[in-house]
Amino acid sequence: VQLVESGGGLVQPGGSLRLSCAASGSIFRVNTMGWYRQAPGKQRELVASVTRGGIANYVDSVKGRFAISIDNGKITVYLQMNSLKPEDTAVYYCNAGLIPTMTMQVGNYWGQGTQVTVSS
Protein backbone atom coordinates (compact mmCIF):
# COMPACT_ATOMS: atom_id res chain seq x y z
CA VAL A 1 0.00 0.00 0.00
CA GLN A 2 1.29 3.43 -0.92
CA LEU A 3 -0.01 6.93 -0.35
CA VAL A 4 1.14 9.47 -2.92
CA GLU A 5 0.61 13.16 -2.24
CA SER A 6 0.60 16.08 -4.62
CA GLY A 7 -0.33 19.75 -4.69
CA GLY A 8 2.03 21.43 -2.27
CA GLY A 9 3.99 24.55 -3.09
CA LEU A 10 4.58 28.21 -2.39
CA VAL A 11 1.60 30.55 -2.09
CA GLN A 12 1.08 34.10 -0.88
CA PRO A 13 -0.96 34.81 2.25
CA GLY A 14 -4.65 34.72 1.44
CA GLY A 15 -4.08 32.31 -1.41
CA SER A 16 -5.31 28.77 -1.96
CA LEU A 17 -3.86 25.33 -2.55
CA ARG A 18 -5.39 21.92 -3.05
CA LEU A 19 -3.63 18.82 -1.79
CA SER A 20 -4.39 15.37 -3.12
CA CYS A 21 -3.45 11.96 -1.77
CA ALA A 22 -4.10 8.76 -3.68
CA ALA A 23 -3.85 5.32 -2.12
CA SER A 24 -2.67 2.47 -4.29
CA GLY A 25 -2.22 -1.23 -3.84
CA SER A 26 -4.60 -4.01 -3.01
CA ILE A 27 -6.97 -2.42 -0.51
CA PHE A 28 -10.00 -4.11 0.99
CA ARG A 29 -11.46 -1.05 2.70
CA VAL A 30 -10.52 2.45 3.74
CA ASN A 31 -11.89 3.53 7.11
CA THR A 32 -10.51 7.06 7.38
CA MET A 33 -8.15 9.36 5.51
CA GLY A 34 -6.69 12.60 6.70
CA TRP A 35 -3.96 15.19 6.71
CA TYR A 36 -1.40 15.99 9.37
CA ARG A 37 1.19 18.73 9.30
CA GLN A 38 4.50 19.38 10.98
CA ALA A 39 6.14 22.77 11.14
CA PRO A 40 9.82 23.17 12.02
CA GLY A 41 10.37 22.66 15.72
CA LYS A 42 6.79 21.59 16.33
CA GLN A 43 5.00 18.30 16.81
CA ARG A 44 2.99 16.74 14.05
CA GLU A 45 -0.68 17.70 14.38
CA LEU A 46 -3.90 16.48 12.84
CA VAL A 47 -5.29 19.06 10.43
CA ALA A 48 -8.37 17.29 9.14
CA SER A 49 -9.75 13.81 8.74
CA VAL A 50 -12.70 12.25 6.97
CA THR A 51 -14.40 8.90 7.32
CA ARG A 52 -15.45 6.64 4.51
CA GLY A 53 -18.96 7.95 5.06
CA GLY A 54 -17.85 11.55 4.65
CA ILE A 55 -17.84 12.71 8.27
CA ALA A 56 -15.13 15.35 8.59
CA ASN A 57 -13.18 16.65 11.54
CA TYR A 58 -10.91 19.73 11.65
CA VAL A 59 -8.44 21.30 14.01
CA ASP A 60 -9.85 24.62 15.26
CA SER A 61 -7.20 26.72 13.53
CA VAL A 62 -8.36 25.68 10.03
CA LYS A 63 -12.13 25.56 10.51
CA GLY A 64 -13.86 27.68 7.92
CA ARG A 65 -10.75 27.83 5.72
CA PHE A 66 -9.95 24.21 4.85
CA ALA A 67 -12.23 21.54 3.43
CA ILE A 68 -11.48 17.84 3.30
CA SER A 69 -13.22 15.41 0.97
CA ILE A 70 -12.84 11.79 -0.05
CA ASP A 71 -13.44 9.94 -3.29
CA ASN A 72 -13.97 6.34 -2.23
CA GLY A 73 -13.90 5.06 -5.79
CA LYS A 74 -10.49 6.58 -6.49
CA ILE A 75 -9.31 6.05 -2.89
CA THR A 76 -8.21 9.66 -2.89
CA VAL A 77 -8.49 12.35 -0.26
CA TYR A 78 -8.36 16.06 -0.99
CA LEU A 79 -7.63 19.05 1.18
CA GLN A 80 -8.78 22.38 -0.19
CA MET A 81 -6.93 25.11 1.66
CA ASN A 82 -8.21 28.68 1.37
CA SER A 83 -7.25 31.95 3.05
CA LEU A 84 -3.84 30.53 3.79
CA LYS A 85 -1.74 32.11 6.52
CA PRO A 86 2.00 32.04 7.15
CA GLU A 87 1.35 29.84 10.18
CA ASP A 88 -0.03 27.17 7.86
CA THR A 89 3.49 26.65 6.56
CA ALA A 90 4.49 23.05 7.22
CA VAL A 91 5.09 19.67 5.67
CA TYR A 92 1.69 18.09 5.14
CA TYR A 93 1.39 14.32 5.48
CA CYS A 94 -1.41 12.15 4.21
CA ASN A 95 -2.64 9.45 6.56
CA ALA A 96 -4.99 6.53 6.04
CA GLY A 97 -6.51 3.91 8.26
CA LEU A 98 -7.25 1.05 5.93
CA ILE A 99 -7.38 -2.69 5.49
CA PRO A 100 -5.06 -4.21 2.87
CA THR A 101 -6.39 -7.37 1.26
CA MET A 102 -3.11 -9.14 2.02
CA THR A 103 -3.42 -8.80 5.79
CA MET A 104 -7.13 -8.11 6.30
CA GLN A 105 -6.10 -6.11 9.37
CA VAL A 106 -6.47 -2.40 9.94
CA GLY A 107 -3.20 -0.56 9.50
CA ASN A 108 -2.07 3.04 9.69
CA TYR A 109 -0.29 4.34 6.59
CA TRP A 110 1.57 7.56 5.79
CA GLY A 111 2.54 9.47 2.69
CA GLN A 112 5.99 10.94 2.15
CA GLY A 113 4.90 14.51 2.87
CA THR A 114 4.51 17.61 0.74
CA GLN A 115 5.78 21.07 1.60
CA VAL A 116 3.34 23.96 1.88
CA THR A 117 4.90 27.39 2.26
CA VAL A 118 2.81 30.52 2.77
CA SER A 119 4.91 33.61 2.31
CA SER A 120 4.93 36.92 0.52
Nearest to 46 by CA among 37, 54, 55: 37
pLDDT of the chain, 120 residues: tens digit per residue: 999 999 999 999 999 999 999 999 999 999 999 999 999 999 999 999 999 999 999 999 999 999 999 998 899 999 999 999 999 999 999 999 999 999 999 999 999 999 999 999
The answer to whether the CB of 81 falls within 8 A of the CB of 18 is yes
Residue 88 is predicted with a pLDDT of: 98
Tell me whether strands 2-6 and 56-58 are parallel, antiparallel or unpaired.
unpaired
